[in-house]
Structure 1
């Protein structure tokens, strides 16, 4: 009986931990993607202004959000559904800047945003 209870508690604990890990980086949250791409633009603009001090002045949460944006853009370009008229010549930073300029309160879908940032036509 005690063993079953211990296993149940452990299973619930691992389940909650996994859920907590997944929630901050929801793949279908356009607002989070836009804000994450704004972090990328801000970090790289600081880097240009202050040389290499941007790495020192960037918090862990800012770096994680920026990494999320970069990863989503690169993943879409490498394994996404593809672009009907081919990918634009934009690199990931140009696509991130495009996404960062979108209004947060607008009703966007993540896939449409990525298509607009990465595809021709």
Structure 2
């Protein structure tokens, strides 16, 4: 019984710590992820030597986030546009000061 209480207490403390850390981390942005994805794909298409090795883990994660969101949105909303064209469209908002919501941008990307 004492072991169970100790494990429960440890789980609660761990969850509080994780929630605190996650609250301080910035939200991953679809636009930034698509910007990374377009850059990675551009480097790949230009056949740059060691392009994959020069991509950082964080750049890869952001790019993967973009690709995952695009794929899932296409699956659930019956969007048949090319994923790379959609990523380029979304990445165009990277330098915008007043960005549209990510949901609006995703909807618009299906119409291209």
TM range (shorter): 0.7 to 0.9
The residue number in structure 2 matching 1:109 is 101
Counterpart of 1:33 (choices 30, 42, 48) is 30
Counterpart of 1:76 (choices 61, 73, 78) is 73
Aligned residue for 1:119, secondary structure, equals coil
Measure how far apart 1:7 and its partner are: 2.5
TM-score, scaled relative to structure 2: 0.76
* Cα distance between partner residues in 1 of 2:43 and 2:62: 16
Measure how far apart 1:67 and its partner are: 0.2
The residue number in structure 2 matching 1:118 is 110
TM-score, scaled relative to structure 1: 0.71
> Which residues in structure 2 correspond to 1:1-121 (within 5 Å)?
4=5, 7-17=8-18, 20=21, 26=27, 32-51=29-48, 53-80=50-77, 82=78, 87=79, 90-102=81-93, 103-119=95-111
CA offset digits 1:19-70 (Å, max 9, x no partner): 75698685xx6xx111110001111111122346221111111000000000
Aligned residue for 1:57, secondary structure, equals coil
Q: 1:73 to 1:10 in 2, by over 3 A?
A: same
Unaligned residue ranges in structure 2 (runs of 5+): none
Unaligned residue ranges in structure 1 (runs of 5+): none
Alignment coverage as a number of residue pairs: 110
